Amino acid sequence: MGAFDDMVVIVTGGALGMGRATAVEFVKQGAAVVVADVNKQAGLEVQDEMRSFGRGIFLEADVSESAACQSIVRDSVREFGGVDILFNNVGIHPGDSYVSVVDLPEEMWDRILNVNLKSHFMMAKYSIPEMRKRGGGVIINNASVQGLQSMPGVAAYAASKGGILSLNRQLALDFAVDGIRVLAICPGTIDTPLVRQAIPAGVEDVETAVRQAGEGHPIGRIGTAQEIANVVTFLASDRASFMTGEYVCVDGGYMAQGAWSSQWR
């Protein structure tokens, strides 16, 4: 028996990186998983991987759009019968464009906030009524250590991640009465395509930059997507049944030492 037998999980941004590893881990532990992502090729690949272990489908969707979020929930109910767990994982970064708010295009601000924060609101809005029908559920929001501290030039990203942590607390308070727990993770540097994309412009050797980023952690390396999956599945399980409204740093000790962003200077 798996920890999530007969449960239905939605993972946004689940085609690559942390989302993909977590989606596959949920399937391995018995869940039926719906992955939503804009990356069709990677989404179909993770769908095949999930189906090698159990039940899973991929839906091509831009979760910054309300209609897409509604459709994801509706298709999850139609395909698997309900929604028990939502992992709001999707997130984008300005890439290597590290600029202050003075030089930040309004369009980039809107896009990052819509994908990183508004999608969490909308996916919760449409998933919670389905969780109520099942007698409860769990929402896990992927924030960041940059929602707690920050670094130069990432105003929209940092604002979106700080907003996630505030929304996380609010959802936990509003829906505890419904048996819905709401938690967040704050990853540090995790070896994902997004992190590699975010290495500042002018850094020629990406692998060296990734290794150096690891050296800035007290643990001495960056994290893996599977390590995030392990934490998310724990928080979503009954083993974390008395936890809600909180965040968990999965950061190799970044927040313990502070001044972590100096590695990029």
Give the integer Cα–Cα distance in Å for 14 and 23: 7
pLDDT class of 216 with cuts at 50, 70, 90: confident
Name the pLDDT band for 155 (thresholds 50, 70, 90): very high
What type of residue is 221?
Answer: R
For the segment 249-258, what is each residue's pLDDT rounded down to a tens digit?
999 998 898 6
Residue 246, sorted as left (phi over 0), alpha (psi -120 to 50) or beta, turns out to be beta
CATH number for the domain formed by residue range(s) 8-264: 3.40.50.720
pLDDT of res. 201: 58
Helices (H), the chain: 17-28, 40-51, 66-80, 106-113, 119-133, 155-175, 193-197, 206-215, 225-236, 254-257
- At which residue do the structure tokens 């704050």 appear? 186
Per-domain residue ranges of the chain: 8-264
The answer to whether residue 247 is catalytic is no
* Residue 119: pLDDT band with limits 50, 70, 90: very high
pTM comes to 0.92
Residue 44 vs residues 14, 38, 47, 156, 246: alpha-carbon distances, Å: 11, 11, 5, 30, 33
Q: Which residue of the set 98, 126, 157, 247 is catalytic?
A: 157
Average pLDDT, the chain: 92
* pLDDT tens digits for range 62-106: 999 999 999 999 999 999 999 999 999 999 987 667 889 999 999
Burial class of residue 78, CB neighbours in 10 A (0-12, 13-18, 19+): exposed
- For residue 6, pLDDT over 90 is answered with yes
169-195 pLDDT, tens digit each? 999 999 999 999 999 999 998 988 777
Give percent of the chain with pLDDT exceeding 70. Answer: 92
Residue 129, C-beta contacts closer than 8 angstroms, at least 6 positions apart: none
